[in-house]
Structure 1
Amino acid sequence: MKKWLAGFMFLGMLFAAACADSSSQEEQDSDDSSSASEATELSFIHWRGEDKEVFEDIIAQFEEENPDIDIKMNIYPSEQYQSNAQQLLRDGSTGDVFTSFPGSQFEAMKEAGLFTDLTNEDFVGNFSEGPISVGQADGKQLAIPYQLVFNMPVYNKGMFEELGLDVPKSWSQYQEMVDTLIENDIVPVAFPGADIGPNQTMNSMMMNNAKDEEVFQKLESGEESLTNDWWTNTLEDFQYFNENGYFQENALGTNQDSAMQMVANEEAAMLATGSYHMAALKELNPDLKLGLLPPITVPENEVEYEGIHTATFMLAINKNSEKKEEAKQFINFLSQPEIASQYANGTGQHLTVKDVEYESEELQNTAHWITDKKTRFQPRYLITEAAVEDAVLGSIENVLGDASPEDAAAEAQRIIEENIE
């Protein structure tokens, strides 16, 4: 009897302990839930879908260091982002931290009063002064470009070495290079006309045809015209490329993924986009050796610019946000050299952050474009009116669709003059 009673008491003690543990766990779960519910949710929006995994890792590190902040990242296709981002930001509930393209989108967002002035924030000192000037207006730092991109064709260096091709320094040398590629049944330039279009290629195609870096500013003020030589010559160059097999067949019907696959399969020597696609090409074909090769459309003695650069993916804080301090913490985190290095190497991007360490062969091999080459800022992003930009790009597409350069230029100029008026 005594043994039975002792056993019963022991079971009762176990049950009580279990209840206590359960109660303790419930209290812990309740505390965790309460803590999570008290965390500030910070909205971060951008257009770089290819950076998703890298950003997720960086965000996890930020949240570990800042457990009172949860970041909700939303990524939109670039064309959709350009069209809809401004509307998303208006009420302050979306995009506490957001990104902006330079040029017309930056101007539109500035006019809408969506930027928080970052001029006096300590983290601005973590960025190189020159590249981030594109995010300045009216004496204020409204946005901070994170990426330093080279908007000119990527080329297969290994293929050039096998064929004994040198990087051309003049239009005649460029033609000889293309002739060799065509003789070897290689498409010289894979052109993604269906989705990217001439957005990137136009910059290096015109860089030495229109040496005046204020040419689009003058176009918008009425001082310049697309019917002048600087633009008609550029359209003639596009026509020449299209009619002489420099682009693949049905260039306007080829999307970005197909064009990239052509280069990865070594069916094409160059991709008409920019340095931001180098990492993705390496994923498709790890054996590729890549470099940057803009078209040279003038004689060697007339070459002034060797390439194109852009400071883009401009980080900003929504002026309508109620979480500006948390937003500043996140941008500060992204500007730390070790985090920026992780982002750079994970995405294959050069950055504007100081003291970034580039690990990949492609980034190391193209870093000399930052210091040793004379590049100009992407001309397209100096167009501030969206309607003008559409007209300029449309004139190229019309030429690729068999319109004459003169007719395409005249039609685009008519549209621009209507908008100026």
Structure 2
Amino acid sequence: MVVLTILMLVAGLVLGGCGQKKPEAPKEPEKTVIRFAHWRGEDKAAFESIIKKFEAENPTIKVEQSIEGSEKHDTKLLAEFQAKNGPDVFAVMPGARFANVVKGGWFLDISGEKFLDVVKPHLRLPGQDGGKQYAVPYQLVFNDPVYNKGIFEKYKLEPPKDWKGFLALCETLKKNGITPIIFDSEIGPGQFMNPMLMNNMPSDDALVKVQKGELKLTEDWFVTTLKQFKELNDKGYFQKDVLGTKKAGAAALFAQEKGAMLAQGSYMMASNKQANPNLKQGLLAPITVSADKMKYEGIHTATFMIAINKDSKNVEAAKKFMAFLFKPEIAAEYANATGQMLTISGVQYKTEELMEQAKWLEKKTLFQPRYMITVSEVEKAIVNSIMDVIGGMAPEKAALKAQQEVDRVIKK
């Protein structure tokens, strides 16, 4: 009897259990998806790591990277903004590209945001317009040629202090069978023009005055710069087939130690080191005048500016992500992973290349003149004049051709 009772109780429990619903699994919170668009494919892994940390702290936000080459990035960005489907957070270059986005009214005004405090006021300037902060420079770049310290040490060479010394340096390298300067046709003219112009210009804002019609490219200061480009080319101080050399090809030649200087900038130092771990690098700028007339030792650029799309449907999430990127400890992770010096105070640099760049914080440098130009056609005319001279055109003729294009733009 007792056994029967127990069996009946067990059966009841089993039957009762069958009728019960299993508890439902908790629903995943709906995520806000924001898109972060930039052009630095080499930074993909570094940003992936940072994004994982951000998403762990902000489980309701998902960040997707969108990466294109620099030229395609700019074109795609403007097209997407016009179609009202642009990225939530995006990178933009200073100068004409920044001005294009301002003109379109696509920047969110981020003036007064707390994360701006970690960037010194003078480094924020390239991202400002009309007293408003629209973008914040992330990277601090020195647009001066990178040089091979090992080669310089071997021939007991030092960075020269005047134009005569720079030519003598190049001649010594050439006589020893080393290409003095590796110069590419893709980004080289737009980079190398800045240190070549910095001490030749009659004023720091000379290119702005050209854009306004207050100075001419046919004047001595600009023609002299083109003549100096011609002198470097005619004396064989660039590698063969400059016009056929792209950025990646130039970098490969430098990493293989087939040239003493790479006419690009500090942003190349990390990838150069990756390609050749034994490479020791420094930075130098050609001083195109006599030592007593030198105003600047080099060029700096506050670049890779980060901004928020005014038409984003996820502005608060975008602000959170942007603030996260500007945390000194997160910025340090990015800097040391990518080899890029940043505008952010309190960042601890660990790599040899970044410590080398840090020395330039104490030097007298000019903000990149090319990025002071806000009209794309004017910038293109100036850059093209350098390529014309490398291609064999007389400096005076190349300057006149460029000035005629500037005049056309001004009259428009």
TM-score using structure 2 length: 0.93
* 1:297 paired residue number: 288
1:213 matched to 2:204? The reply is: yes
* 2:304 paired residue number: 313
1:113 alignment partner AA? G
* 1:171 paired residue number: 163
Cα offset, 1:90, TM superposition: 3.2
1:189 aligned to 181, 197, 210, which one?
181
1:381 matched to 2:371? The reply is: yes
* 1:150 paired residue number: 142
Q: How does 1:102-251 map to 2 (within 5 A)?
A: 102-193=94-185, 195-251=186-242
* 1:90 paired residue number: 82
* 1:340 paired residue number: 331
Quote the Cα distance in structure 2 between the aligned partners of 1:265 and 1:420: 45
1:412 alignment partner AA? A
Give CA deviations for 1:151-184 in whole Å, capped at 9, x if unaligned.
Answer: 1110111211121111111111111211111111
Counterpart contact for 1:91–1:320, Cα < 8 Å? no
Quote the Cα distance in structure 2 between the aligned partners of 1:281 and 1:61: 28
* 1:329 paired residue number: 320
- Helix, strand or coil at the partner of 2:237: coil
Quote the Cα distance in structure 2 between the aligned partners of 1:311 and 1:355: 17
Counterpart contact for 1:43–1:72, Cα < 8 Å? yes
1:260 matched to 2:256? The reply is: no
Identity %: 46
Cα offset, 1:89, TM superposition: 2.3
The alignment yields a C-alpha RMSD, in angstroms, of 2.0
Q: List, as ranges, runs of 4+ consecutive aligned residues in structure 1 with deviation greater than 4 Å.
A: none
Count of aligned positions: 401
Quote the Cα distance in structure 2 between the aligned partners of 1:416 and 1:52: 38
5+ residue gaps, structure 1, are: none
1:408 aligned to 398, 409, 412, which one?
398
* 2:272 paired residue number: 281
Counterpart contact for 2:77–2:86, Cα < 8 Å? no
1:31 matched to 2:27? The reply is: yes
1:40 matched to 2:32? The reply is: yes
Give CA deviations for 1:88-117 in whole Å, capped at 9, x if unaligned.
Answer: 223443311011110001111111101111
Quote the Cα distance in structure 2 between the aligned partners of 1:190 and 1:233: 21
1:241 alignment partner AA? L
Cα offset, 1:223, TM superposition: 1.0
Quote the Cα distance in structure 2 between the aligned partners of 1:82 and 1:43: 16
Quote the Cα distance in structure 2 between the aligned partners of 1:292 and 1:211: 25
Cα offset, 1:314, TM superposition: 0.8
Question: Residues 375, 211 of structure 1: CA spacing in aligned structure 2 closer, same or farther, 3 A cutoff?
Answer: farther
Quote the Cα distance in structure 1 between the aligned partners of 2:291 and 2:339: 31
Give CA deviations for 1:212-238 in whole Å, capped at 9, x if unaligned.
Answer: 111111111111110001110111011
Question: Residues 182, 298 of structure 1: CA spacing in aligned structure 2 closer, same or farther, 3 A cutoff?
Answer: same
Quote the Cα distance in structure 1 between the aligned partners of 2:356 and 2:402: 39
Give CA deviations for 1:61-103 in whole Å, capped at 9, x if unaligned.
Answer: 1011111000111011001123332222234433110111100
Quote the Cα distance in structure 1 between the aligned partners of 2:247 and 2:97: 22
Quote the Cα distance in structure 1 between the aligned partners of 2:44 and 2:81: 21
1:258 alignment partner AA? G
Counterpart contact for 1:211–1:304, Cα < 8 Å? no
Quote the Cα distance in structure 1 between the aligned partners of 2:338 and 2:224: 36
